[in-house]
Structure 1
Amino acid sequence: MELNPKIHQIPNATAHRLPIYYRSLKKLNEAGVERVKSKELSQMTQIPSATIRRDFSHFGELGRSGYGYEVVYVTEVFRELLNVNNIINVVLVGAGNLGQAILRNNFKKERNIIIKGAFDNDSSQFGKEISGIQILPMEQMKDFIISEQICTAICAVPSEVSQEVVEQLIDAGITSILNFAPGRIKVPVNIQMKYIDFSSEIFTMVYQNEALYPANLVEED
């Protein structure tokens, strides 16, 4: 989901939780629920109710103590903040196993996010079609991005080439990048870069799990 400029005025952690809140509120709205308390929303999102109240406070008086939040109203607030009604076109770079899995999914649950093009430097992949998207050579990427006026990219290439690929994306006009390589990339300050690092996520979960269930930790020999 593309973020409204207003979101840059709030803490990053809060901004990252907004899509979670929106999806939960949308489900409640579709189920005909008229209002919800932070405790109930906490059970749905697995986010502490105190954190929810603090996050919501950044957007004014969204609810009342003891009454909760009007589901329709708050859903619409987050819909506007997240620009949910806008179509977000994305390019994918890297059509290996991970890239192909992303193509097959193609944001089926988020109808406003669409992968418009996929690129790779492996000639054996050229012309291959996945979920209606044809894999094209990297040489065609810049012209494609410019002609389609795309600002967002998913980078699913190996770490050793991620810096070079990101620079090519920026040169083509990309301003927001979701990067699956764990190594940090040098980018200009005006470029939004988000990292998806599976190893870090697993270590974080193990740390949190150890705190809850110390007996589950197995030490190395």
Structure 2
Amino acid sequence: MNDVTLKIPQATSKRLPLYYRFLQNFANAGKKRVSSSELSDAMKIDAATIRRDFSHFGALGRKGYGYDVQYLVDFFRQTLDQDEETDVALIGVGSLGNAFLKYNFHKNHNTRIVLAFDPKASDDGKEMSGIPVFHPELLEEKIKKFGIELVILTVPSRIAQEVTDDLVKIGVKGILNFTPVRLSVPDSVRVHTIDLSVELQTLIYFIKNDVKDSQM
């Protein structure tokens, strides 16, 4: 993201890619303008939250008119640096990692996995889903060669911190962590953790409480 996103709340920043995706859908459907209420219905986000998020960027719309769809698509594309592709490395090619390799990120946005690492790979590397996979011994060499600053981490929990320490030393700036480990990193490195088991438990909790509320 460019500098403007650094001045807005983190919760708003996390919603920006969602706004961009849904606005693209509206644009692809030929819609010229959209209201916060229409966005709210499509995204299941409160309209007041949408207006508040947009207000951080100045006057993006006009009262009584709504928002110009193509203008917002262009605005969020620039804000999210969608015109510049970001190369990503995948660390760990187990079941989840293999699924990531098979998913073509670049068809939907500007992120693409260009290399991966797995202990089962030989020193010469191998190819999976069209992506080269190397042994972790080549981590530093390949990360620097490809100029990688962002990685997806899907390794076993017992080695997650060790691998993270190596990535920090190499100069990686961002880690999308799919392990349940709360990684320790310096302030110069940003980590986003997605614990699938926690997300599932949270979903189950809300479903059960929705049922209880409906029975009251």
Name the TM-score, length of structure 1 as normaliser. Answer: 0.90
Structure 1 segment 1-221 matched on structure 2, within 5 A: 3-123=1-121, 127-214=125-212
8 Å CA contact 1:125, 1:135 repeated in 2: no
Q: CA RMSD in A?
A: 2.1
Count of paired positions: 215
Please list the CA deviations of residues 28-65 of structure 1 after superposition, one character each: whole Å capped at 9, or x if unmatched.
11222111011111111111111111111111011123
CA spacing shift, 1:114–1:43, aligned 2, 3 Å: same
Structure 2: state its 5+ residue gaps: none
CA spacing shift, 1:210–1:56, aligned 2, 3 Å: farther
Q: How much does 1:91 deviate?
A: 0.3
Structure 1: state its 5+ residue gaps: none
Of the structure 1 ranges 4-13 and 176-185, higher mean CA displacement relative to structure 2 is found in 4-13
Name the TM-score, length of structure 2 as normaliser. Answer: 0.92
Aligned residues with identical type, % of pairs: 43
CA–CA distance in 2 between the matches of 1:71 and 1:111?
A: 18
CA–CA distance in 1 between the matches of 2:65 and 2:98?
A: 46
CA–CA distance in 2 between the matches of 1:58 and 1:140?
A: 43
Please list the CA deviations of residues 86-139 of structure 1 after superposition, one character each: whole Å capped at 9, or x if unmatched.
010000000111111110113154352111110012358984422101221001
CA spacing shift, 1:15–1:61, aligned 2, 3 Å: same
Letter in 2 for 1:140: L
8 Å CA contact 2:122, 2:134 repeated in 1: no
